[in-house]
Amino acid sequence: MSAVYSKAVLALGSNLGERNDTLSEAVADLVDPPEVRLLDVSPVVQTKAVGGPAGQPDFLNMVITVETSLSPLQLLEHCQAVENKHHRVREVRWGPRTLDVDIIVYGDLISGDPVLTLPHPRAASRAFVLYPWSLIEPAATLNGERISTLAARAEDFDDLAPFDGFGDFDGVPLAGTAE
């Protein structure tokens, strides 16, 4: 009997340490087990922190699509294990972090479970999730609306910028800058 796979959309973000390296390594870690297969990877965007304490470094954000035979809660546990591997600390809600991995959607599942609410309860208002996702799935919808339309309406849309590869450590350039 073969396993049944469901499609899931995962959003990744980092604003501490070598953010781009962390995201790359996290994608590899997320799709390492045979129960999770990578379908697509969005470009990386740089954004201001949304919510949480003021003065945080900018985030690098991206979205990946996967297919998985893990249940939604097993996938959540796996995502949290990957966060922990990358030294995620949960001291302040929406505070700075080395890695954040959120399950945005899992198939067509709708769940109000406080442990794992699906679709992600704030995804429809976050351009840092919607815009990268729209780059890999332009026709995707969330709550019945195209994600590109939702992204353009999101308050943080104007703060999005393509990531040029510089500013790799806590948002501070490491190379390529002229004094």
Strands 141-142 and 6-14: unpaired
Cα–Cα dist 25/48, whole Å: 22
Cα–Cα dist 114/130, whole Å: 22
DSSP class of residue 1 equals: -
DSSP code per residue over 86-113: TT---SSTT---S-EEEEEEETT--B--
Q: Tokens 């794992």, residue?
A: 116
**Residues assigned a catalytic role:** 88, 97, 100, 102
Cα–Cα dist 41/49, whole Å: 22
Given its phi and psi angles, is residue 157 left (phi above 0), alpha (psi -120 to 50 degrees) or beta? alpha
